[in-house]
Amino acid sequence: MHKIKRVNREKMSVEESRKVIGDNLSFAASEAYKLLRANLDFSLPDSAGCKVIGITSALRGEGKSTTSINIAYTEALTGKKVLLLEADLRLPTIAKRLAVRSVPGISNLLAGQCKGGDILQPSGLIKNLWVVTAGDVPPNPSELLDSKQMGDVLKALSESFDVIFVDLPPITAVSDALVISKLVSGMVVVVRQDYCDRASLAEVVRQLRFAEAKVLGFVMTGSDVMLKSYKSNYRYKRYGYYTSKKYYSKSAYERASDKQRQSNEE
């Protein structure tokens, strides 16, 4: 049984964050991401050209960005040219986690402040994985993401990459992810065990269906299943789901999210 050091989200340094991404992942966790990769390949078997996959969740802090980085890295291991595009314009974290520059990013391009070539940068994890950060936090994220330029930018990027993973905000908080859902091949919904409640998840599925998005599957994070034995560390429970090891405890940030969720329910 592995023990992964607790990671307090608020104080996560670049070094700490590096421990739960890329080739620093435990054997069990990297196997879980490979299963997720296989499931995604089965979910979009014959789509010609670039696959664009959005990663979202019901609530804040369920593991979207971590999942996005790791699935993009795992996909890049196969030799494909992969892009990680950060479209959580309100709470960007990718630049810090990958230790890349935060600006210019997609928001700067959409606001006409830079050129397309300026926003692409190597991820530093593996040579065929590239990253586009969110950029400066804009006053109007939904409008920028819903603009015609966003569609044009994604189309242009699709010509240069085999797969694009889009790290999105949570669905119950803002409409940004739904706005993007019409531009992607499919959506993956991250669900954190013992955190996301049934009503919020049902709402996400309802909204995605309403937006006519293709839900490719659900990724369960923070699962206890992984703690039981080494062998069970990389099994997944059913199609479309994968489990990963619980490697954090609730931070103050996450407790605040719990509170917010409770008050939303009231």
Q: Of 173 and 211, which has the nearer Cβ to Mg ion?
A: 173
Stretch that binds ligand ATP, among 41-49, 117-125, 138-146, 244-252 (CB under 6 A): 244-252
In the complex, minimum distance from the CB of residue 9 to Mg ion, in angstroms, rounded to a whole number: 10
Residues 48-67 binding ligand ATP (CB under 6 A) are: 57, 60-66
217 binds, among ligand ATP, Mg ion, none (CB under 5 to 8 A by kind): none
Write each residue from 161 to 200 as x if it is in contact with ligand ATP (CB under 6 A), else as -, in one continuous string: ---------x------------------------------
> How far is the first Cα of the chain from the last one, in angstroms, to the nearest whole number?
40
- Are 154 and 52 in contact by the 8 Å Cβ rule? The answer is yes
Residues 119-148 binding ligand ATP (CB under 6 A) are: none
In the complex, minimum distance from the CB of residue 143 to ligand ATP, in angstroms, rounded to a whole number: 20
DSSP code per residue over 229-261:
-TGGGG--SSTT--EEE------HHHHHHHHHH
From the list 26, 57, 65, 244, which residue makes contact with Mg ion (rule: CB under 5 A)?
Answer: 65
7 binds, among Mg ion, ligand ATP, none (CB under 5 to 8 A by kind): ligand ATP
Write each residue from 86 to 125 as x if it is in contact with Mg ion (CB under 5 A), else as -, in one continuous string: ----------------------------------------
Q: Of 158 and 243, which has the nearer Cβ to ligand ATP?
A: 243
Task: Write out the two tokens for 164.
Answer: 């694009």
CA distances (Å), 234 to each of 2, 23, 133, 231, in order? 12, 16, 30, 7
Q: Which residues of 71-107 are buried (b: 16+ CB within 10 A; e: fewer)?
A: bbbbbbbeeebbbbbbbbbeebbbbebbebebbbbbb
Closest by alpha carbon to 26, among 5, 50, 8, 48? 5
CA distances (Å), 156 to each of 10, 160, 248, in order? 35, 7, 38
Q: Given the rule CB under 5 A, which residues bind Mg ion? A: 64-65
